[in-house]
Amino acid sequence: MSSPALASVAVGRPVRGEFTYLVPEVLRGSLLPGQRLLVPFGRGAAMGFYLGPAVQPEGAPTLKPIQKVLDGTPALPADVLALLRFAAEHYRYPLGEAIRGALPPGLTAAEEAKEAAAEVDRFARALVAGVPDALRRAPAQAAALSYLLAVGGRAPLEEVAHAIPGARETLKKLAARGLVQLEAEERKPGVREGLQQGRPERLTAEQDAAVGALTASLDAGGFAPFLLHGVTGSGKTEVYLRAAEHALARGKGCLILVPEIALTPQLVGRVRSRFGTSVAVLHSALKDRERLRAWQGLRAGEVRLAVGVRSAVFAPVPELGLVVVDEEHDPSFKQEEKLRYQARDLAVVRARNAGATVVLGSATPSLETLENVQRGRYRRLTLKSRVDDRPMPRVELVDLRLVRPRQPTPAPEEPPILAPVLLSAMEETLSRGQQVILFINRRGHSTFLVCEVCGLSVRCRDCDVCLTHHLSQRRVVCHYCGAAGPLPEACGDCGGALLKLGIGTERVEAEVAERFPTARVARLDRDAAGNAERLTELLASFARREVDILVGTQMVAKGHDFPGVTLVCVVLADTSLALPDFRAAERTFHLLTQVAGRAGRGKDPGRVLVQSYNPEAEPVQRTLHHDFDGFAAQELAWRRSLAYPPFTRMAAVRLEGEHPEQTARVARFIGEQVARRLPPASLGVRMLGPAPAPIARIKGKTRWQLLLKGPTHAALAPLLARVEACVEQVPSSVKVVIDVDPGAML
């Protein structure tokens, strides 16, 4: 039997299993699941998490007592703790590490929790109507006071300091003279200009039907999963917001997940326009203090609506009634390190456990979600038309095999990228005062450099990839390990001249700026928008129509609503088609459809031009006709014939080591051990590999992998347990990772 004198604890270290500790007399009867503890571990102490009463372990080992309780109340509510226990088991990851990884900064260290300080804005207020004569001999003070008076008598300290060097100290002196008052105000979350939207007076008939189905589900209570399948511009976000209004009115909590930070500013702007400041925003680009404050507001029940990226699936939303996963198809919902979870799937599990309504929204649903609809597990709500009966954009193909970009005279050093039809369409769009988006899913200027004499490419020393040329930095960069160096002047092997091949956003931006010198051009990728502030500024500037042409990677494709955009140009549709990944076609179709959907979302119709060297490719052809159903049917048939998800379950075992021969030996050893325990072929369990990974070396480490396929997760569990047992015999120089439901094959 379990005893209140013994506690089961998950330790926040990369170790498997639960540990048993003695509960000191003073703590008996007071511990609650989810509380953070300080416990002895190894030669020191570690943070642990109380899971519940424990039974006496076999062998009567000497147990150590809990040293300290770090929280008066549990850091994690019971429903989130249950979700993390499920995730740790399903994704084969240490429970304590999973729990620690779900907590915000300020709760991840073995120390008592502190209340997050509020964000404060500081202001200076003039207490006089003019500059007194006494400041004649203090020109700096006179200048600072004059500035305040010129802007109405009150201004943010940051603004004054930016306008007048040294103003911070100067304002303190003015305050000491009684001429200025320094003030501090708690910062209220606001809506950036250009990102807010009002509440539509009327819904379309399809929106109204979808909202009706969701509100009926919320009224009935109980777990109810929905797919909201709506074309781009059909008003899916408004359906989410109406459902959230209904849930909040019923006293329920709401959780809205978006795939990337790139989507957060615009969606948060709309949510705060609707619900005021009572919204918790959760993503990694926030300051630690902001994330902790948002978490604590939810945990205390002061805030009932959370918006965030994938990690927000663990947010402590009280009385959860509605879960929304926007752009549910997006691969960013899959965590690729540590606890390798799929946030979309965990959102469904969490809603099921809470008896909540869950909405998975997309214009291009994942095939996994679509198959759940076809099996009757999810109910599909469809929005086939755009708001206000706006037409879908006209999509046209530019066959680069026949229509090559035209060489100017004299011919430039680098061949042009944009075909004449694209340039003509851009010129026409700009002449009407409308906006253009150009999409190319590669950063940098040239994606590889090749010697025109010997044919060798400039490659990363530590990774099995080519270096990317970044023109703005005059450097070559590896996008896998981050290594960078100066742009080589010649081939390091034979001294031959280097050709800059491949297309990235920098090169497109440069060509556009040269062809349209009077246009305002901006670039949106991870290099140009390195932080949340810069990202929000770029998006807001484009929304205010301060930018005419936006060149970007997939960051421009995801969910943004820019009414001024009437032309979208896909510079090269083929970049992801040849990847060695069974999802390559699906992701290409998703990306092309999503970026095409940015056009024509205002009163003017949209047009999309797609440049391609592979115009007969299935994803390209289906995109031209907005034919999701046709693409999905063909792709699902192909997946079924080859036993790939969603018709089978997969797990990848990935290895990386410093020594190629040793890593290969370990991979083969694990493969042999698993092969001996494979069930009969009739049960549908297969092993592929082991084999070198498609990118065989990253950061100087050799990479191997093997794939396991089976009809259910349960069928794979014994094999994964065997892999875990083998890991104990593997040298520490070889890292072995199990990735359940892998998102990418590279």
CATH number at residue 11: 3.40.1440.60
- Reading the block at residue 172, the tokens are 């303190």
Residue 212 pLDDT > 90: yes
The verdict on 126 and 56 lying in the same domain is no
The reported pLDDT for the residue numbered 195 is 43
The reported pLDDT for the residue numbered 643 is 92
The verdict on 41 and 85 lying in the same domain is yes
Q: Specify the pairing of strand 607-612 against strand 565-570.
A: parallel
The answer to whether the beta carbons of residues 354 and 362 sit under 8 Å apart is no
The answer to whether the beta carbons of residues 166 and 140 sit under 8 Å apart is yes
Domain count, the chain: 6
Q: Alpha helix (H) ranges present in 312-403?
A: 343-354, 367-374
What does the pLDDT look like over 18-50, one tens digit per residue?
A: 999 999 999 988 899 999 999 999 889 999 999
Interval 270-295 mean pLDDT: 83
Least confident interval from 78-87, 277-286, 332-341: 277-286
The verdict on 463 and 326 lying in the same domain is no
Q: How confident is the model at residue 681 (pLDDT cuts 50, 70, 90)?
A: confident
Residue 100 pLDDT > 80: yes
The verdict on 343 and 291 lying in the same domain is yes
Interval 599-605 mean pLDDT: 86
- Mean pLDDT over the full length of the chain: 88
Residue 413 pLDDT > 70: no
Q: What is the pTM of this model?
A: 0.86
The verdict on 464 and 383 lying in the same domain is no
The verdict on 217 and 288 lying in the same domain is yes
Cβ neighbors of 310 (< 8 A, separation 6 or more) are 257, 259, 332, 333, 334, 335, 341, 343
CA separation, residue 131 to residues 127, 157, 232, 383 (Å): 10, 19, 57, 62
SS3 277: coil
Q: Which of 186, 216, 243 is the last residue of a domain?
A: 186
The reported pLDDT for the residue numbered 601 is 83
The verdict on 584 and 520 lying in the same domain is yes
Q: Which residue has the higher pLDDT, 192 or 674?
A: 674
Q: Which of 369, 388, 407 is the last residue of a domain?
A: 388
- Reading the block at residue 610, the tokens are 């797609």
Least confident interval from 176-190, 350-364, 514-528, 567-581: 176-190
Residue 114 pLDDT > 90: no
The verdict on 493 and 529 lying in the same domain is no
199 belongs to a structural domain: no
Q: Which residue has the higher pLDDT, 595 or 502?
A: 595
The verdict on 382 and 511 lying in the same domain is no
Q: Is 712 exposed, middle or buried (0-12, 13-18, 19+ CB in 10 A)?
A: exposed
643 belongs to a structural domain: no
Q: How confident is the model at residue 118 (pLDDT cuts 50, 70, 90)?
A: low
Cβ neighbors of 409 (< 8 A, separation 6 or more) are none
On the question of a cis peptide bond just before residue 331, with omega within 30 degrees of 0, the verdict is no
317 belongs to a structural domain: yes
The answer to whether the beta carbons of residues 691 and 733 sit under 8 Å apart is no
Longest dimension (CA), the chain: 96
Least confident interval from 240-254, 285-299, 528-542, 639-653: 528-542
Q: Which of 155, 186, 217 is the last residue of a domain?
A: 186
**Cα–Cα distance measured from residue 393 to residue 626, given in angstroms and rounded to the nearest whole number:** 9
The reported pLDDT for the residue numbered 527 is 79
Q: How confident is the model at residue 193 (pLDDT cuts 50, 70, 90)?
A: very low
Interval 308-320 mean pLDDT: 95
Q: Which residue has the higher pLDDT, 257 or 533?
A: 257
Residue 116 pLDDT > 80: no
Cα angle vertex 70, ends 67, 75, to 5°?
135
113 belongs to a structural domain: no
193 belongs to a structural domain: no
H or E segment and range at residue 722: helix 713-727
Q: Alpha helix (H) ranges present in 190-312?
A: 205-220, 236-249, 264-275, 288-299
What does the pLDDT look like over 149-177, one tens digit per residue?
A: 887 888 888 778 877 778 889 999 999 99
Interval 141-148 mean pLDDT: 87
CA separation, residue 416 to residues 401, 450, 515, 525 (Å): 14, 18, 10, 21
Residue among 144, 134, 703 at smallest CA distance from 464: 703
Q: How confident is the model at residue 262 (pLDDT cuts 50, 70, 90)?
A: low
The reported pLDDT for the residue numbered 3 is 56
- Can you point out the beta strands (E) in 15-107? 19-22, 36-41, 44-54, 68-69
Give, as one character, the DSSP assignment of residue 560: -
Residue 124, number of CB atoms within 10 A of its CB: 27
Q: Which amino acid is at 332?
A: S
Residue 194 pLDDT > 80: no
Interval 309-334 mean pLDDT: 95
- Reading the block at residue 134, the tokens are 């006494």
Interval 177-198 mean pLDDT: 66
**Cα–Cα distance measured from residue 739 to residue 92, given in angstroms and rounded to the nearest whole number:** 8
What does the pLDDT look like over 417-438, one tens digit per residue?
A: 899 999 999 999 999 999 999 9
CATH code, 687: 3.30.70.600
Residue keyed to tokens 């007076």:
201
Cα angle vertex 213, ends 211, 218, to 5°?
90
What does the pLDDT look like over 288-301, one tens digit per residue?
A: 888 888 898 999 99
The verdict on 343 and 251 lying in the same domain is yes
- Can you point out the beta strands (E) in 127-207? 154-156, 180-186
140 belongs to a structural domain: yes
The reported pLDDT for the residue numbered 542 is 86
Number of H helices, E strands in the chain: 19, 30
Structural domain span for residue 168: 120-186
CA separation, residue 727 to residues 655, 669, 719 (Å): 10, 10, 13
107 belongs to a structural domain: no
What does the pLDDT look like over 462-505, one tens digit per residue?
A: 888 888 888 777 788 888 888 888 888 888 888 888 887 778 88
Residue 65 pLDDT > 80: yes
Q: Which residue has the higher pLDDT, 511 or 530?
A: 511
Interval 348-358 mean pLDDT: 97
Share of the chain above pLDDT 70, in %: 94
Residue 251 pLDDT > 80: yes
Residue 412, number of CB atoms within 10 A of its CB: 11
The reported pLDDT for the residue numbered 60 is 65
The answer to whether the beta carbons of residues 435 and 550 sit under 8 Å apart is yes
The verdict on 265 and 372 lying in the same domain is yes
What does the pLDDT look like over 697-743, one tens digit per residue?
A: 999 999 999 999 999 999 999 999 999 999 989 999 999 999 999 99
111 belongs to a structural domain: no
Residue among 17, 6, 36 at smallest CA distance from 95: 17
The verdict on 124 and 257 lying in the same domain is no
